[in-house]
Amino acid sequence: MPLLSIGDPAPHFCGRTPSKPDFHFDSMAGRYLVVSFFVSSAMDFGSRFLQRVDAMAKRFDDDVCSFFGVTIDPQDEATGRLRNRPRGIRFFFDTDMRISTLYGVVTENTGGSGQAKAYAPATYVLDPGLRVIAARPMRDPEEHAQWLADVLESLPPLPAPFPAPRHAPVLVVPHVFDPELCQELVTAYETDGGGESGYMVERDGRTVPVLNPAMKRRRDTGIEDPQLRAAIVDQISRRLVPEIQRVHQIRMSRIERYIVACYNGENGGHFRAHRDNTTKGTAHRQFAVSVGLDDRYEGGEVWFPEYGPALYRPPVGGAVVFSCSLLHEVRPVRSGRRMVFLTFLYDDRKAEVRKSNRQFIGEATPAPAGEPEQEPAQKPALAPAAA
């Protein structure tokens, strides 16, 4: 597999260290982590790099940041020449290259009549949620150590512990989309211009879309380009689906739609309080996903009235994820444009619900006048795709 990229979840593993035969790496979450695959401390390359790591040892205190070196040299373990430092610097003995393979530094090269493994030394820096925030192949040990020092210097400080306020069961996951994908999606919207966005209601036993600016004011563009869709599915599958599974113990396998939405401050773009799964045509929806594509706007926060006053705003490339059964509202945008990618995720079981409920989906009807409909759900695209 290739090297992990920014936003990818770091694989969990259990490995041998000088002080513990079964050290669970994921138990170190909650601080910045550095994982360096340096091959061997006996090699000139590895020795020089580790000397530079020792020189910056004060950065690794186990409170804010910890360093893990990974060696594949059996002699590093057998001779005892690699030992854990008193605090903040540890080593894994990866003689079977299992950890290295998980992290993409081992590749299979096919040549002649057989296969040979190629090793590509590299370093990853992980955030407190064990997501990759920096990665770099190792070439020159001094240059690599300087890169690592610069990355560590640039990391924002960890917030101090504080009593948790009442808040909604919402995930905010950074680095789901690459910056390039965010820009491509914004460009796709600007090229198309978008169309007025409706929402779904029940009428005479059928699920139909309506337009009502008193309830919702937004313009949407559907993403039809196969390459853009493939990139969206790839990054959601790698970076968001595992996080939902870890937190909620359920694996999403379907994605309902591909929409770039714009809430414009010029007309107070908004979506009043609603739930996303209250009609037969939307009952299959499990999680709503909003990925931020731009942050040059004011207002437009997502609010969950049942859970207090906390307001949520996805970072650029990051996602706000929540159960479709939660009451939520997009507050009016006061200035700028709130550009987001929107989709719904669901699993195979809910795919059967969607299939059986297709018979209840009706045609568009005129928008009602006056007060907005109660408990509408966002307009679906009626073609699930494997996530």
- CATH no. for residue 118? 3.40.30.10
| Mean pLDDT, rounded, of the chain | 90
DSSP bridge pairs for 137: 122
Verify that 84 and 183 share a domain, yes or no.
no
Element (H, E) at 260: strand 259-264
CATH number at residue 278: 2.60.120.620
Task: Check pLDDT > 70 for residue 365.
Answer: no
Question: What pLDDT is stored for residue 1 in this prediction?
Answer: 55
Domain that holds residue 265: 171-386
The answer on 85 and 225 residing in a single domain is: no
| 41 and 187 fall within a common domain | no
Convert the pLDDT of each residue in 30-58 to its tens digit: 999 999 999 999 999 999 999 999 999 99
For residues 144 and 193, membership in a common domain is answered with no
> Which secondary structure element, helix H or strand E, spans residue 21, and what is its range?
none
DSSP string, 105-149: -EEEEEETTEEEEEE--EEEEE-TTSBEEEEEE-SSHHHHHHHHH
pLDDT at residue 126 is higher than 80 = yes
Q: Rg of the chain's alpha carbons, rounded to an integer?
A: 24
Counted domains in the chain: 2
Does residue 161 lie in a domain region? no
Task: Write down the pTM of the prediction.
Answer: 0.87
Adjacency order of strands within the sheet including 328-330? 216-217, 270-274, 328-330, 302-303, 311-312
Does residue 85 sit within a domain?
yes
Write down which residue in 110, 129, 154 finishes a domain.
Answer: 154
At 296 the pLDDT is 96
**Looking at the structure, do residues 235 and 368 belong to the same domain, yes or no?**
yes
Say if 186 falls within a structural domain: yes
Q: Which of 108, 126, 154 is the last residue of a domain?
A: 154
Question: Are 190 and 329 contained in the same domain?
Answer: yes
Strand-pair partners of 108: 117
Q: What is the mean pLDDT of residues 340-344?
A: 98
Residues 25 and 122 in one domain: yes
Whether the per-residue pLDDT at 113 is higher than 70: the answer is no
Does residue 88 share a domain with residue 145? yes
Residues 290 and 381 placed together within one structural domain of the fold: yes
* pLDDT tens digits, 294-320: 999 999 999 999 999 999 999 999 999
Query: Which one, of 49, 36, 43, lies nearest residue 141 by Cα?
Result: 49
148, 196: one domain: no
Are 139 and 210 members of one domain? no
